[in-house]
């Protein structure tokens, strides 16, 4: 039973570890399509080149080096045999000449002496190991080799009974020295392939980026770039065509809805105006005043309903001075019972917005704060590509569980924040959020440091 539990624990830890590794890998890898596509192309190329390089080093380089070292060792062995049978009274001039002319080796017969101390082995000691093994097997005498001192020469010293046999050979005689050509060719072709891949991918990714920019501009209520048209691969062109058809259908529906609402609004305003004119002809009694108040309330509610249903998407974006806009809103929403404080940076903030729509959204938020509090603070900051406006008040606030509910159309609070003697259709915050989201941002509600409610408006600029 214990073994089964331990086995189940190990099996449960395995998937958890794999998930952690995959999560870590997903955090490290780039998120953009261009970078990911490059990795998809680069990774196989690097892997292929690594495998080819390993096979070359393992097979070609070692095999050629082994054969060259074996041939050089045999030449040295032949020279030693000739030296052993050579008349000692001669100065070995013929032997030296024969080694130079026939074997392309430079030899010297040195007087008896100790061999130099062994030098540190190089990091890539393939030649040192291979040549040492061949000399040890074929000659079997004390020797010393230097494959590092002179880059183009290899020195071999063999200790004999009455002399030291010194041999200098070109490195190319003992070592596959042309491997760098293969490596350079491999790196060069890889760079060419990567350059072609980068240029090709950049050309393919550009239509996708332009489609994303057009969709983002449409989501913010802005017109698409004038030169936008389907480009790129067939699938990308098909997506662009589908986006343009969807955009045209949405614009056509919005235009039809706007036309219909404009007609309904005109007819209802005409009737309400007629009511006002008829009430004006009556005596100014209490009943007439109450009826006139009801008509005014109906007209205000009608304006809210029409604004909520119609929206402000038809307005074009323009450069808006945030300082002037907020000063206008403060002037319009100011009350004697409430102080409004503006906190603005020293530099002027001018951002592209649909001015009338954004002003309406801010007016709804500020009016909501002014209606229920005695002090309101509007703090404006701009960081990177975001404009943030925080509206704090010292009113009763909104319970945390209802802060998201108040953005629903026609939703009214039952607590102190919702007890309002004025006209309250429950659409103010809904209209404000719709307008801000049409700009690509959002409105969130939190507890204010002043004790009331904080409304945070963030829009990209």
Check if the beta carbon of residue 430 is closer than 8 Å to that of residue 408: yes
Q: What is the pLDDT of residue 435?
A: 85
End-to-end CA distance of the chain: 63
d(CA 80, CA 71): 14
Taking the domains of the chain in order of start, what are their residue ranges?
A: 31-228, 245-308, 315-460
> Which numeric CATH code is attached to 245-308?
1.10.287
Indicate the DSSP class of residue 117. Answer: P
What is the full DSSP assignment across 80-103? HHHHHTS-TTS-SHHHHHHHHHHS
Is residue 387 left, alpha or beta, with left meaning phi > 0 and alpha meaning psi from -120 to 50? beta
> Which numeric CATH code is attached to 315-460?
3.30.565.10
Determine how β-strand 386-393 pairs with β-strand 453-460: antiparallel
Check if the beta carbon of residue 456 is closer than 8 Å to that of residue 443: yes
322 closest CA partner among 298, 300, 350, 281: 350
Matching residue, tokens 């105006």: 273
CB atoms within 10 A of CB 427: 20
Q: What is the pLDDT of residue 456?
A: 93
Q: What is the mean pLDDT of each run of 10 residues along the chain (461 residues)?
A: 50 66 72 77 80 72 81 87 72 80 86 81 68 85 79 84 86 69 75 82 83 78 74 84 85 75 75 78 74 74 64 71 90 82 86 86 89 89 89 89 82 54 64 84 90 91 80
Which architecture does CATH list for 31-228?
Answer: 2-Layer Sandwich (3.30)
Question: Do the domains 31-228 and 245-308 sit in the same CATH topology, yes or no?
Answer: no
376 closest CA partner among 409, 341, 407, 404: 341
Nearest-Å Rg of the Cα atoms of the chain is 44
């Amino acid at each position: 039973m214990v073994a089964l539990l331990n086995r189940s624990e190990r099996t449960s830890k395995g998937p958890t570890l794999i998930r952690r590794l995959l999560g870590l890998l997903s955090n490290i890898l780039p998120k953009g399509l261009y970078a990911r596509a490059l990795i998809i192309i680069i990774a196989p190329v690097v892997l292929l080149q690594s495998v080819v390089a390993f096979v070359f080093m393992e097979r070609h380089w070692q095999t050629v080096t082994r054969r060259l070292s074996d041939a050089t060792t045999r030449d040295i062995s032949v020279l030693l045999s000739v030296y052993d049978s050579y008349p000692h009274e001669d100065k070995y001039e013929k032997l030296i000449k024969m080694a130079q002319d026939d074997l392309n080796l430079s030899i010297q017969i040195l007087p008896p002496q100790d061999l130099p101390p062994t030098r540190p082995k190089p990091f890539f000691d393939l030649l040192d190991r291979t040549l040492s093994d061949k000399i040890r097997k074929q000659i079997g005498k004390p020797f010393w080799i230097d494959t590092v001192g002179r880059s183009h020469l290899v020195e071999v010293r063999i200790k004999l009974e009455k002399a030291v046999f010194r041999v200098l050979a070109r490195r190319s005689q003992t070592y596959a020295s042309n491997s760098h050509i293969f490596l350079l060719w491999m790196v060069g072709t890889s760079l060419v392939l990567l350059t072609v891949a980068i240029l090709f991918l950049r050309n393919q990714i550009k239509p996708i980026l332009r489609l994303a920019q057009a969709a983002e501009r449409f989501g913010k209520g802005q017109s698409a770039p004038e030169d936008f048209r389907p480009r790129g691969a067939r699938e990308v062109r098909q997506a662009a065509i589908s986006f343009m058809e969807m955009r045209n259908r949405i614009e056509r529906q919005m235009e039809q809805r706007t036309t219909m609402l404009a007609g309904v609004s005109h007819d209802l305003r005409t009737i309400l105006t007629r009511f006002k004119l008829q009430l004006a002809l009556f005596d100014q009694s209490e009943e007439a005043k109450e009826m006139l108040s009801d008509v005014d309330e109906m007209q205000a509610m009608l304006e809210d309903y029409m604004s909520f249903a119609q929206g402000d998407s038809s307005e074009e974006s323009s450069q808006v001075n945030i300082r002037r806009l907020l000063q206008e809103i403060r002037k319009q929403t100011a009350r004697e019972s409430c102080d409004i404080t503006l906190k603005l940076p020293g530099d002027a903030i001018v951002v592209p917005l649909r001015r009338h729509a954004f002003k309406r959204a801010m007016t709804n938020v500020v009016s909501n704060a002014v209606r229920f509090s005695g002090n309101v603070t509007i703090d404006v900051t701009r960081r990177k590509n975001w404009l943030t406006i925080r509206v704090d008040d010292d009113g009763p606030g909104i319970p945390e569980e209802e802060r998201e509910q108040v953005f629903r159309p026609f939703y009214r609070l039952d607590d102190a924040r919702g007890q309002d003697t004025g006209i309250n259709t429950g659409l103010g915050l809904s209209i404000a959020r719709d307008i801000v989201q049409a700009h690509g941002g959002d409105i969130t509600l939190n507890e204010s440091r002043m004790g009331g409610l904080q409304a945070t408006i963030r829009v990209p600029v």
